[in-house]
Structure 1
């Protein structure tokens, strides 16, 4: 390490030695440990201030004493030649006005695209945000009432950079988006005093990182935003805070609430913002928010322990409240499915059928139904067409609301169907353990199949109609909806009897899904993984429908990795040893009941049955004892090759490689694999 005249501004201001190896950060900034300080560490030469001399006037062509001497002018010209920093400064001044106008123009386009395309992050009050852009270079008035003008400009500009990165697909901007993200991160003031702009910037960055497939970073950024908004809500508000500023902060909180449920880090995580503990009011209506009239109507606070309000919604004025409530239902469904779903019951020795009171499936289904029943017909699809709301300029809010509903129905319906049926299979319940001990009510499975495959078709139709209405929807959430719909449209295309032949447009819907995903993967990096997954799924369905013998007896256990991708999360089961350490009995839900009943009057030859299929038909195992041993080893890694070299259960998770991943933030290296091993 050497000490030179080159130093960082922090050490120079503190009048301490700046020790470094020629590159930032220096030792002093590294010891400080603050991400903001480490990012801000820049090594420069000392700035020498000189009194105004004759040379300054020579550069203007005159001096106080008379004409310019030729020699002096020549010296000044040579000095300009050897001052590239000074030349750059002059050039920046000449182009500052035009570049600033161009920057504000691009940010304005990004903000408008953000408000339309990301209704789940509905915190941006467009009129005041655009009004504040003019303060980026001038003297700013702090509209937050919390910080000085310099801090206001810095955090506002950080949000601008984040918006430019997230909304790049709609801007035709060739500037590297990761550079925008780095600029946005360097402008945040998380450590010193989190403010609304900083929290909003973190949320936008989290959405961007998720779209890039960097889910660990997205999860971490979302977590920082959540803790920051909790801290900000705990601080007393300045007296100068207006009602509009309070509502912007309130909506920023609900955006954190949504991101808490949207971004998962490889497997389900405990929610940081459980709804029963929330004691803030629901978002106000869109019209009141736009006009800043946040108290013109009464919007009650959430009572402790209440899941959601019981109001009926006849229009989309309070669409953000609807989306927030829908996400709360969706997160419960996703947590259950990603945690094992029907195969992991909370009461280990109890087999509760989904139609019975007390089942998790039924409680989730009824909560979803109750939320939906409070929506008027004019905000439901397909009861009301997308084109109607497109004519009113609210197509994306309408589409988002209905995408959440149909995605929830898709996940609930998919849980009890065979992962890989036979070409002649019909809806009759699960064929892999744990099997159901009771017979379903008449028509129950047929109704579930209709809901499942109609929801997948509706998701495809919503996205198709948005394209036709010149209002395309292309965000990470809409891409995941298209991917989920594609898996089920492919399923019913190759196994039409699973919906009793009612999916007449399955081929067209699946083709539309692939067209959408092909376009989507060119805009978002995570789309490439979804494209690969749907290609693999289609190949599996096609080959299994053509060659029954080759895939005879294959169940979910043979495709655990592929199923984890489809289910959005790499979920795993607790081993028996792990279950014992948690004080729980061993998991026997993988074993079938001793005398399971069929949903059909034809029980076969006395062998245990699963739905309409006997165990020997489903698994190819004639001896029930051998079948039980096979069931007990399901959770082990099984690599199944189809004869063409395709390993359908190869390890290729949906998100980043979670086997030995090295997760590094921009400032602090963190060995994720080592940390996980230490925890285990």
Structure 2
């Protein structure tokens, strides 16, 4: 007897019972969890082979019923019209038959995926077991005509993610192929599909991270925005009945990756967050162990009151590290928006005249929220309370490092807001020395404690990156580079002005040298690193001259260094056009009494409207000695800088888009930045 049970090819080959309701996919393929297996599940009748009898009639070219040529009969499905994207099957399928070259491609993608999971904890959406399982099927493009379109779309989207991963992780994989070619291929794959899915969102997120590292921040912001909109579209679609717990969590983590990128990549222009936490109705990421095994034991949803996360859980290990990273980014984005939008010099802050230690102050509210988040971390996942090497031995070095980098970066930004931009060699922690000044004396020891936290965090950031390198697990991503740059600014500061930390920063010189060495390597791998390198070299030279010859810098405050402050705070100044760089700038002496405020996003808006603006904005451009104009300049940002010799010049900080490779000092500058340093003294 021949069994005539309807089953899929996978179950038939494994000789197991194929459980289904009469239409694919079957229960076995659903449990497999691989999207490739689910998409290619086709129910067929068995092949019935019979002995071929001698032909009694001349051949008509039509195979006899039941002959060997009569293959498995697929269960009928609704006929679909093939779209132009179906041609992708021939383009990236049949042209790349399983051979040495294709197997090498799959091997490189697998290596890149492993690197991605380790190096980019902020994009923790890749379920490595199922992704590697999908790669195994990448060689097999021979599918039945039935379901051809679904297979082609799946193949194109998977290929797009593969290309994006290869571009982002090329430096770790020693891939000699052009990363720009990979990115171009990834973008082409996105344009070939007819509707987005989770692969589409993930590809856009990886591309955004790559573009940010290349310094093309406008593109990164746009790609991140497209990923967010695609994710929102997916959440608005009807839920699939056959989706597994694993697939649901992959989609959930992809959404939270969009949440992180919304706060990590910004264009330096006033814009609200695309994904405010109060509007989020999905659960927090599940634990790493549950995610690895594709199961969910419990789901916890965000509890937000007055814009602040309410979470009473204590985290003893890194199993829910992605949850902590997401929450940390929410705190970080609030700190960054406040500081980059003017910080303590914002009109609303000046009008209230609220000191940072007083209840109700913006600074104290942000500081308390940061400490609440940190307070949920047990000592075992805190640095320096627990050594990084402990977690390195468990294979968790990068997750541990990332979590602590976020905390110390937040504390660094908050602590830096109230110190003098350019102190004197004898200055000690005592609060701001430039307007707006504080109306009250601080509680005893308050400034000393803030100074300790500030410079301790800069030293801890350096130490984390140093220890990762020593443990043979270096961290070289755009975020780690930004952390190193931020730490370098404060390590250089306390190196030349040690009294600002009461002489407690005994390792400042070694830390600053370590930061410079890190950024020197970093700039060879990421284009944005060249800009940070240029900035830190300028900062060091300025601080060194100011510490050596105080008389040349008497009376100078942060209003004399707007360009330098802009890059330190948010790395978002833009390259001026020829017309604007030719604009005459009046002497600085008339400008010292003007408040430093960010430009509004409307030319006609006054300070009253600007006072309520909490978004990231550009530093104002001073136009004359009696008034300033608030202008919107999508491509430009001219800022003043003082070199210590009475000379004024427009500092052109090449931080954005097409500014890479532009000479630092334009022809019209009063002096050449590249000139011998001796001539500057």
Identify the TM-score tier after normalising by the shorter chain.
0.7 to 0.9
SS in 2 for 1:424: coil
Match of 1:581 among 601, 605, 608: 605
Aligned to 1:542: 544
Q: Does 1:566 align with 2:590?
A: no
Return the offset for 1:302: 2.4
Aligned to 1:451: 453
Aligned to 2:80: none
Equivalent pair of 1:561/1:653 in contact (CA under 8 Å): no
Matches of 1:444 and 1:657 in 2, distance apart? 44
Report the aligned-residue RMSD.
3.0
Match of 2:354 among 346, 352, 355: 352
Bigger shift: residues 264-273 or 132-141: 132-141
SS in 1 for 2:374: helix
Aligned to 2:87: none
Equivalent pair of 2:389/2:467 in contact (CA under 8 Å): yes
Aligned to 1:230: 232
Equivalent pair of 1:200/1:252 in contact (CA under 8 Å): yes
**CA displacement, residues 328-378 of structure 1 (integer Å, 9 cap, x when unaligned):** 000000000110100004365221110011111000000000000110000
> Which blocks of at least 5 consecutive residues in structure 2 are unaligned?
1-90, 574-595, 613-623, 631-637, 663-681
Equivalent pair of 2:563/2:639 in contact (CA under 8 Å): no
Matches of 1:448 and 1:341 in 2, distance apart? 16
Bigger shift: residues 381-390 or 258-267: 258-267
Matches of 2:251 and 2:151 in 1, distance apart? 19
Equivalent pair of 2:391/2:397 in contact (CA under 8 Å): yes
Aligned residues: 526
Return the offset for 1:581: 3.2
Q: Does 1:502 align with 2:526?
A: no
Give matches, 1:283-294, under 5 Å: 283-294=285-296
Return the offset for 1:238: 1.6
TM-score, normalising length from structure 1? 0.73
Matches of 1:164 and 1:225 in 2, distance apart? 19
Equivalent pair of 1:489/1:507 in contact (CA under 8 Å): yes
Aligned to 1:382: 384
Match of 2:166 among 161, 164, 167: 164
**CA displacement, residues 292-326 of structure 1 (integer Å, 9 cap, x when unaligned):** 112xx212222465743321100000000000000
**CA displacement, residues 121-145 of structure 1 (integer Å, 9 cap, x when unaligned):** 0000000000001222424899xx9
Aligned to 1:300: 300
Bigger shift: residues 533-542 or 634-643: 634-643
Give matches, 1:449-488, under 5 Å: 449-488=451-490
Equivalent pair of 2:157/2:193 in contact (CA under 8 Å): no
- Structure 1 residues 494 and 94 mapped into 2: Cα distance closer, same or farther (>3 Å)? closer
Aligned to 1:519: 521
Return the offset for 1:580: 7.0
Aligned to 2:665: none
Equivalent pair of 1:206/1:219 in contact (CA under 8 Å): yes
Q: Does 1:115 align with 2:114?
A: no
Return the offset for 1:96: 4.8
Aligned to 2:657: 656
SS in 2 for 1:452: helix
Aligned to 1:42: none
Equivalent pair of 2:642/2:649 in contact (CA under 8 Å): yes
Equivalent pair of 1:261/1:327 in contact (CA under 8 Å): yes
Matches of 2:303 and 2:541 in 1, distance apart? 50
- Structure 1 residues 485 and 348 mapped into 2: Cα distance closer, same or farther (>3 Å)? closer
TM-score, normalising length from structure 2? 0.73
Matches of 2:192 and 2:606 in 1, distance apart? 37
Give matches, 1:107-256, under 5 Å: 107-139=109-141, 148-189=150-191, 192-256=194-258
**CA displacement, residues 429-472 of structure 1 (integer Å, 9 cap, x when unaligned):** 01111111111000000000000000000000000000111111
- Structure 1 residues 426 and 487 mapped into 2: Cα distance closer, same or farther (>3 Å)? same
> Which blocks of at least 5 consecutive residues in structure 1 are unaligned?
1-88, 589-628, 662-680
Return the offset for 1:266: 2.1
Aligned to 2:444: 442
- Structure 1 residues 147 and 225 mapped into 2: Cα distance closer, same or farther (>3 Å)? farther
Matches of 2:125 and 2:601 in 1, distance apart? 46
- Structure 1 residues 506 and 258 mapped into 2: Cα distance closer, same or farther (>3 Å)? same
Return the offset for 1:573: 3.0
Matches of 2:427 and 2:302 in 1, distance apart? 47
